[in-house]
Amino acid sequence: MSITMLSGYSKRIMIKSMARNRVIAKKRKLTEFRNKLQNAIDTWDELIPIEEHPYWCKVQNKIKQLEEDLSEAIKDEINIQIKEEQK
């Protein structure tokens, strides 16, 4: 069913649900990435420190990007809730 075919109330519920699901998905992805990083740190057995590995900077940038995406998703969800309360 297309979202354009829903009634006004159903559409608002669907939009709120989609925003909440987006936040949950972003949190899940960030947690998975952090857990993988922590596992790599815990099992690191190379001569050079993990912080000097060529991929370290990329991993840190990816985590920052995921955190920014999560923050944006939370802001969007809050804005949707505020608009809903104003109606």
Domain boundaries, the chain: 22-86
Residue 85 is predicted with a pLDDT of: 78
The pTM assigned to this predicted structure is 0.81
Is-contact 49 9, C-beta < 8 A? no
Q: How many CA atoms lie within 13 A of 79 on its CB side?
A: 8
Residue 2 is predicted with a pLDDT of: 56
Instruction: Please report which residue ranges of 1-87 form alpha helices under DSSP H.
Output: 8-42, 56-86
Model confidence at 5, pLDDT cuts 50, 70, 90, reads low
Q: φ, ψ for residue 53 (rounded to 5)?
A: -70, 145
